[in-house]
Structure 1
Amino acid sequence: LGCFLGAGARAPVGGGPDAGHPSGIATAERLGGRVAWQTAYLLAGRATRAA
């Protein structure tokens, strides 16, 4: 099992998306926020260069 370029987590078999460990969920939320911020930053830079 390998995880590259992001967080990896495992939930109990048969569990829903909220069945994971609270710290794993918090890590995923933080990583998602960083990805969203970086995407917005890059798109803003491209818009500036196109203008």
Structure 2
Amino acid sequence: MIVIFQYLSIILLIFLPMPHYLRESYLASSMLYSLVCSNSMKSLIQYYYDQ
């Protein structure tokens, strides 16, 4: 679900005319968000496997 939302947001970024600095900061925050999500998923999976 998160992946679909990220693809949609990237498509929106391409089609919506945004100021350059806004686009940059939005991309950076979205990449950071996906990184945090993948890291938390990895730690959750690791937690379940360790038990």
Normalization by structure 2: what TM-score? 0.65
More helix as a share of residues: 2
Give the partner amino acid of 2:31.
G
Q: How many residues align?
A: 35
Identity in percent: 0
Corresponding residue for residue 31 of structure 1: 29
Structure 1: tracts of 5 or more residues without a match: 1-15
User: RMSD of the alignment, in Å?
Assistant: 0.8
1:4-43 superposed matches below 5 A: 16-17=15-16, 19-43=17-41
Deviations for 1:1-51, whole angstroms, at most 9, x for unmatched residues?
xxxxxxxxxxxxxxx51x110110000000000000000010000000100
Normalization by structure 1: what TM-score? 0.65
Larger of the two Rg values belongs to structure: 1
Q: Say which structure, 1 or 2, has more relative contact order (CA 8 Å, 6+ apart).
A: 2
Give the partner amino acid of 1:31.
S
Give the partner amino acid of 1:47.
I
